[in-house]
Amino acid sequence: MPRRLKATLAGALAAGGGWPLRLIAGRRPEPLILAYHRVVEDFAESSKGTIPAMLISTRMLERHLEWLAAHYEVLPLEEAVAGPGRKGGKPRAAVTFDDGYADLYHNAFPILKKVGIPAAVFVVSAHVGTSMVPLHDRVHHLLSRGLRRKEAMPARLSALLARCGGPRRRGDAFALTTRLLTGIPRDELLAAVDRDESMSPLCEEHREEMKALTWEMLATMERAGILIGSHTRTHALLPLESPERVRDELLGSRRELEARLGSRVLHLAYPDGRFTLATIRAVQESGYRYAYTLCDHGAARRGPWSVPRRALWENSCVDGAGAFSESIMSCLVSGGLDAFHRCRWSLHRSAESAVRAGALAINQS
């Protein structure tokens, strides 16, 4: 939605003491769970070399968290999702970060300590302590370079785009990246990227910027009260993978995190928020107690293996002038703009229906 239109609508909903937003929010189940990815010092500079919608600056993150603390009771994630519903007072909220980039330790961790807000970090276990760059970053880099320089698009990625039913050169790099990630199994896409990168390698500066957290960083954050959860083993989009691969992604990640950190791992965030009924069954069988997505399915009651979150980034809550807007933030988190951001994945709605109808056995042991 264009910024000016969003600001105008948010202002209208927040007018008159904000009663329309309170009415909308009152119909939504708690808790509110926010999701972020990378935290950088300079958004404009960092967005030149990676996916902008995954970035938030330290300045903007601090504004988000200050607003959140003023309007919600911000709790540790497990307490937020497992605790009793609201009985007066502020509604519950929690803060999460996905992927496990090292900038969380350098940039987000100090802010969380400063404002006194707990958080959870969902990490890709095979990336921890390595120099591996996430596949989505590599795909986006290759595609954006081809579009920006008006060169021939990467040959193998171009062929995969055609197979996905999409044009080879139309659209922005983010849209094309999403099409590939959601249409091609991880190993096949990775092989294509490896070949195309041999002709257009990722520079060392970008590799350094996208480094993952180390095990020492994770241990330090956990000792400070940060919950560490799984984001699978390699960030594979689970609905695209075989049952055997899904089990390896889920169970392999959980076992490695528990062995290295010495604590139970009961929380999982689905890569890109995507899941199916079969995915939920695999999550249960792998011993997770809670799993989180990145959309809102419109269901009044949700199972613990498809808990919705609100994904935010630098420009989520800015007005036409690019400044942080409290009314837009309030509108987003209360559901005032949900009509413009409906979940497009029908499999999510069918999976939610199955959970609510009791088709899955809920094991809280």
Which domain-ending residue is among 178, 201, 224?
A: 201
Strand 310-311 relative to strand 32-36: parallel, antiparallel, unpaired? parallel
Please tell me whether residues 178 and 245 are part of one structural domain.
no
Q: What is the pLDDT of residue 90?
A: 85
Q: What is the rounded distance in angstroms from the CA atom of residue 341 to the CA atom of residue 332? A: 10
Please tell me whether residues 320 and 221 are part of one structural domain.
yes
Residue-number span of the structural domain to which 148 is assigned: 143-201
The helix/strand/coil state of 36 is strand
Backbone angles phi, psi at 351, to 5 degrees: -65, -40
The CATH code of the domain that includes 8 is 3.20.20.370
Say yes or no to pLDDT of 22 above 70.
no
Say yes or no to pLDDT of 201 above 60.
yes
Say yes or no to pLDDT of 139 above 60.
yes
**Percent of the chain clearing pLDDT 70 (strictly above):** 78
Q: What is the pLDDT of residue 23?
A: 44
Q: What is the pLDDT of residue 51?
A: 92
Please tell me whether residues 127 and 235 are part of one structural domain.
yes
Please tell me whether residues 110 and 157 are part of one structural domain.
no
Q: What is the pLDDT of residue 17?
A: 47
pLDDT in tens, 304-339: 999 999 999 999 888 888 899 888 888 888 775 554
364 belongs to a structural domain: no
Please tell me whether residues 187 and 264 are part of one structural domain.
no
Please tell me whether residues 288 and 189 are part of one structural domain.
no
Q: What is the pLDDT of residue 130?
A: 95
- Sign, CA dihedral 292-297-300-302, equals negative
103 belongs to a structural domain: yes
362 belongs to a structural domain: no
Q: For tokens 């703009």, what's the residue?
A: 337
Per-residue pLDDT band for 267 (boundaries 50, 70, 90) equals: very high
Q: What is the pLDDT of residue 106?
A: 97
The helix/strand/coil state of 212 is strand
Say yes or no to pLDDT of 37 above 70.
yes
Which ranges constitute the DSSP H helices of the chain?
Answer: 3-14, 19-26, 43-46, 58-71, 77-82, 103, 109-115, 135-148, 155-163, 173-181, 186-197, 204-209, 215-223, 243-261, 277-285, 326-334, 346-356
Please tell me whether residues 123 and 185 are part of one structural domain.
no
363 belongs to a structural domain: no
Residue 166: CB partners within 8 Å, gap ≥ 6? 176, 179
Per-residue pLDDT band for 350 (boundaries 50, 70, 90) equals: low
Q: What is the pLDDT of residue 362?
A: 41
> What's the whole-number average pLDDT of the chain?
84
Q: What is the rounded distance in angstroms from the CA atom of residue 189 to the CA atom of residue 197? A: 12
Q: What is the rounded distance in angstroms from the CA atom of residue 179 to the CA atom of residue 262? A: 38
Peptide bond into 271 cis (omega under 30): no
188 belongs to a structural domain: yes
With beta carbons less than 8 A apart as the criterion, state whether 355 and 306 touch. Answer: yes
**Distances from the Cα of 272 to the Cα of 37, 64, 194, angstroms:** 11, 22, 22
Q: What is the rounded distance in angstroms from the CA atom of residue 149 to the CA atom of residue 32? A: 41
Mutual angle of helices 3-14 and 326-334, in 10-degree steps:
80
276 belongs to a structural domain: yes
Q: What is the pLDDT of residue 225?
A: 96
Per-residue pLDDT band for 36 (boundaries 50, 70, 90) equals: very high
Per-residue pLDDT band for 26 (boundaries 50, 70, 90) equals: very low
Average pLDDT of span 290-301: 69
Cα 291–chain centre separation: 12
Please tell me whether residues 158 and 292 are part of one structural domain.
no
**Distances from the Cα of 41 to the Cα of 46, 116, 296, 354, angstroms:** 8, 20, 30, 43
10 belongs to a structural domain: yes
Q: What is the pLDDT of residue 219?
A: 97
pLDDT in tens, 57-67: 999 999 999 99
Please tell me whether residues 249 and 184 are part of one structural domain.
no
- Count of domains forming the chain: 2
Please tell me whether residues 164 and 80 are part of one structural domain.
no
Strand 227-230 relative to strand 120-123: parallel, antiparallel, unpaired? parallel
Plot region of 57 (φ>0 → left; ψ -120 to 50 → alpha; else → beta) = beta
With helix as H, strand as E and coil as C, how does 57-80 read? EHHHHHHHHHHHHHHCEECCHHHH
Q: Which of 99-113, 248-262, 297-311 has the lowest mean pLDDT?
A: 297-311
Please tell me whether residues 174 and 223 are part of one structural domain.
no
Strand 73-74 relative to strand 92-99: parallel, antiparallel, unpaired? parallel
Say yes or no to pLDDT of 299 above 50.
no
Q: What is the rounded distance in angstroms from the CA atom of residue 231 to the CA atom of residue 307? A: 14
Per-residue pLDDT band for 120 (boundaries 50, 70, 90) equals: very high
With beta carbons less than 8 A apart as the criterion, state whether 250 and 232 touch. Answer: yes
Q: What is the pLDDT of residue 149?
A: 66
Average pLDDT of span 193-203: 87
163 belongs to a structural domain: yes
Please tell me whether residues 352 and 214 are part of one structural domain.
yes
Q: What is the pLDDT of residue 358?
A: 46
Q: What is the pLDDT of residue 25?
A: 47
pTM above 0.95, yes or no: no
Which domain-ending residue is among 172, 201, 230?
A: 201
Q: Which of 43-57, 104-118, 158-172, 322-336 has the lowest mean pLDDT?
A: 158-172
Average pLDDT of span 177-199: 93
